[in-house]
Amino acid sequence: MFFVLCAQKRNGQETVPYIINKNKSLIKVFYNYIVNNLSNRKRTRLKEYDYSQYGYYFVTICIKDRREFFSNIIDFKVVLTEYGKILDEILKNLNRFYPVEVDYFVIMPDHIHLILILDNELSSIKNYSLSDIIGKFKSFTTKKIREKLKPPN
């Protein structure tokens, strides 16, 4: 089932978020509470857990200031921008550089969701942690997007 996160204003007041599925039914979510309380949120990482061990990991990466940058929602479909296409290409080739398989991902306007399968037995060079891979992914993606943003000389 395909879902799109949307927002709707009521009487000029604060935005009320909804999830719209392909049947166009609305389901209210507590998205505002989460966004407004990010600075007070609990740590989602376990202190004693080794994030370099084999496993499936669900990762969400948000863009700074939640700017809609990676895609647009048009007729209930996600349409990637040129920057979203860069993300798409890098994610599809991530396993060529790191011992990780991208099981599934979705690129939203201001964030991405990933399900990664980390398997360091595929790497004979180094054991990579989830943090290593995400850090390098973000760094490389930022570099490629900045190249696109620079005006030609």
Would you state the pLDDT for residue 86?
Answer: 94
pLDDT band per the 50, 70, 90 thresholds, residue 30:
very low
How many angstroms separate the Cα of 96 from the Cα of each of 87, 99, 148, 153? Answer: 15, 8, 23, 32
Mean pLDDT of the chain, nearest integer? 76
Would you state the pLDDT for residue 41?
Answer: 56
Tokens 């994610």, residue located: 91
0.75 exceeded by pTM: no
**Torsion angles phi and psi, residue 68, rounded to 5:** -80, 105
DSSP notation for 6-61? EEEESTT-SEEEEEEETT--EEE--HHHHHHTGGGPPP-S-TT--TTSSEEEEEEE
Q: Per mean pLDDT, which range of 11-15, 53-57, 132-136 is the poorest?
A: 11-15
CB 19 within 8 A of CB 4: yes
Would you state the pLDDT for residue 66?
Answer: 83
pLDDT band per the 50, 70, 90 thresholds, residue 35:
low
DSSP notation for 47-100? TT--TTSSEEEEEEEE-GGG---SEEEETTEEEE-HHHHHHHHHHHTGGGTSSE
Of 21-25, 29-33, 47-51, which one has max mean pLDDT? 47-51
